[in-house]
Structure 1
């Protein structure tokens, strides 16, 4: 497996999603170090923004908590810059909303800041399609890899464009809807979609939306996905841990162990 995902032989890559600031950044720092030690491949780290129409209630509550904690773009970029040199395996794909975070800034300046902070890639949520070429060209000049996305039901031309432009990975949304919703028919229907995307582009294909458990990862591996993205289910574990006074780091490690038992769990005291 190439690029962002370097999982044990025969397994599938693993990406997790969190809003920066939920848990608070002082807790998020040891949590990311724990994910790195557990050899999670990628963290999609969102700069929080309100009222996302594509997110379900779990991720929307998380974004609201992060914003209430005072999390802002400058703080997130400073956090990434401080932490990135300590990570040996985990890559950070920064997730930024076009309307809330990016649009008010000159695009080259924003990409320079993201690259300078050490983020491994950038996914811009809600980017107007007409700006896709500009984003990719500007990112290439700054040396920043790009995550593109499409739905499994997207028009073939949209899929092909997403596959060609992805330089980090392509985020394949398993079904149209909101985060946290598993396709009622399962993931088997994605096989021809993944085959098409791989024939057009060179970046790994990572599947998200409704990926919650080990059986889902195995199903995605069977249809040829390079990685699985676990978002709402992971955020929900963090929400429950904080609400019930449990350590989010311990909860994160337990979640990873359940998702990928092929990687031996590390004792908590072994985490930097």
Structure 2
């Protein structure tokens, strides 16, 4: 197993690992802003792949109300067509901007499926890990997360799409395996966030089923993250391109919040924050 002790000193004054207990006390879900510094992400590839544009976008999302920034340097686009990159290339992309993004003071999550990249980024002041394969793809990921003592987002994923699959049963079985891996590695349950993986290894109907039955995941006792932003299932209801799916994204995220999601991962931060706050204000009048 790789050593998880090789890390740089944490930048002075930066936030420690994100305290998930704060999520349980919020009236509205936390909003995680998506920062893709990639050339090929499905909806914004190439828009923020220079340090200047990436840093400007990070600052913009913070000003718009983002509680967390999720930075990724390798596309994990759920519909195929992405170009796999080495850990070295992924870290090279991150080196150009990560320190400046962390220095903005808002907790940062590293979106990577590679333990080596996560280990390096967490040593640079990143506060959370976000693994789109739920600790099940890279055998060293769980040990790295445990060694840094930070929270981890674990997402349900599949290599293939099976329309006949009971997707809720599959998600629950996947998370059972993930939590077993986490426990063996020494990751405490209060540091785990579950993400049903909207759009990943699922038909549009299965993605909507996962959203509709989100409450079935509450039995795991972990906060739930939902990232439905600009996903293709929206186009199965109303024909649209990724940049035209703001309305559908907000509809899905409002319902996710009503069904217990504690983190909403979104590209359009200002609109998402506004929608969640207005919904909460209306609910207060009941």
Q: TM-score range by the shorter chain?
A: 0.5 to 0.7
Query: What corresponds to 2:160 in structure 1?
Result: none
RMSD (Å), alpha carbons: 3.8
TM-score by length of 1: 0.62
CA distance in 1, matches of 2:195, 2:63: 24
Query: What corresponds to 1:96 in structure 2?
Result: 112
Which residue, out of 182, 201, 219, partners 1:196? 219
State whether structure 2 residue 242 is matched by structure 1 residue 205.
no
Relative to structure 1, the CA distance from residue 178 to residue 44 in structure 2 (aligned partners, 3 Å threshold; closer, same or farther) is farther
Query: What corresponds to 2:149 in structure 1?
Result: 143
Relative to structure 1, the CA distance from residue 221 to residue 117 in structure 2 (aligned partners, 3 Å threshold; closer, same or farther) is same
Which residue, out of 56, 70, 91, partners 2:79? 56
Structure with greater proportional strand content:
1
Of stretches 221-230 and 12-21 in structure 1, the one that deviates more from structure 2 is: 12-21
Relative to structure 1, the CA distance from residue 263 to residue 15 in structure 2 (aligned partners, 3 Å threshold; closer, same or farther) is same
State whether structure 2 residue 265 is matched by structure 1 residue 219.
no
Which residue, out of 15, 33, 41, partners 2:32? 15
Quote how far apart the aligned CAs of 1:161 are. Answer: 3.8
State whether structure 2 residue 273 is matched by structure 1 residue 260.
yes
Q: In the TM superposition, what whole-angstrom CA distance separates every residue of 1:13-42 from its partner, at most 9, and x where no partner exists?
A: 222333214313211102101212222122
Quote how far apart the aligned CAs of 1:189 are. Answer: 1.7
Relative to structure 1, the CA distance from residue 176 to residue 123 in structure 2 (aligned partners, 3 Å threshold; closer, same or farther) is closer
Give the secondary-structure state (helix, strand or coil) at the position aligned to 2:27: coil
CA distance in 1, matches of 2:135, 2:146: 19
Give the secondary-structure state (helix, strand or coil) at the position aligned to 2:61: helix
